[in-house]
Amino acid sequence: MNDQPFLKMMGDVSASASHDILNVLAILNEHTGLLSDLLALKGEVTPDQLLQTTHAMESQIKRGKDLLEHLNRFAHSPDTLNSPARLQPIDVAETITEIARLTHRRFHIEIISPLPPLPLSCEPMLLRLFIYTLFKEAADHDASPRITMSAGKGRLQTQTPFYPSPRLLEYASHLGIGLSPENGLHLSFP
């Protein structure tokens, strides 16, 4: 399979995630400036003001940590390419959450119900490419790029109806994933 789509996906996902991480750092920088200003007021600072600012900072630190954990997992996904066994056990739900989190800025993916574990033995990079392409195509077919996903009985569904491209169908075929474009795209797993 051509490496170009993998490289494009790696670049797009990394760019989206790094932009979000820069936003986290910018917000933390604003809050530290606010803390400095509050402390400079000497005596005019209320405990509530300090608490509100530290809570906002803690929230951003958690967001940044979450992004970096997903980005680290994503960055290590090509590690399996050198493995003698190209097929690896992977949790589809976890991988969907990873790609959704890393591309949220671009695709606005919303997982509307917790995705149950969906184990699959496959090439991890191909699964990531399939999920990324699925999100991209769903967003391309909707004027407001919001993709919601719900799960049930080994099936996933997007709320954005569209017919998958030949490329997406090819990826699904290699992974053994069934696709059905009825009231949104239904995915069924082996």
* For residues 51-62, average pLDDT: 90
How many domains does one find in the chain?
2
By residue count, the chain amounts to 190
Report pLDDT for 186: 74
167 and 140 both lie in a single domain: yes
State the pTM of this model.
0.79
Task: Note whether residue 80 is domain-resident.
Answer: no
101 and 165 both lie in a single domain: yes
Task: Note whether residue 13 is domain-resident.
Answer: yes
Task: Note whether residue 9 is domain-resident.
Answer: yes
146 and 89 both lie in a single domain: yes
- Of 54, 162, 153, 147, nearest to 108 by C-alpha is 147
Give the pair of three-digit tokens for residue 144. 């407001």
Residue range(s) defining the domain that contains residue 9 = 4-75
155 and 89 both lie in a single domain: yes
Q: Using CA atoms, how far apart are residues 53 and 184, in angstroms rounded to an integer? A: 42
What pLDDT digit, counting tens, does each position of 80-89 carry? 777 777 788 8
Task: Note whether residue 125 is domain-resident.
Answer: yes
- Of 153, 96, 162, nearest to 130 by C-alpha is 96
124 and 43 both lie in a single domain: no
Torsion, CA 22, CA 24, CA 25, CA 29, rounded to 10: 140
- Report percent pLDDT > 70 for the chain: 87
93 and 55 both lie in a single domain: no
Give the pair of three-digit tokens for residue 134. 């699925």
67 and 91 both lie in a single domain: no
Task: Note whether residue 19 is domain-resident.
Answer: yes
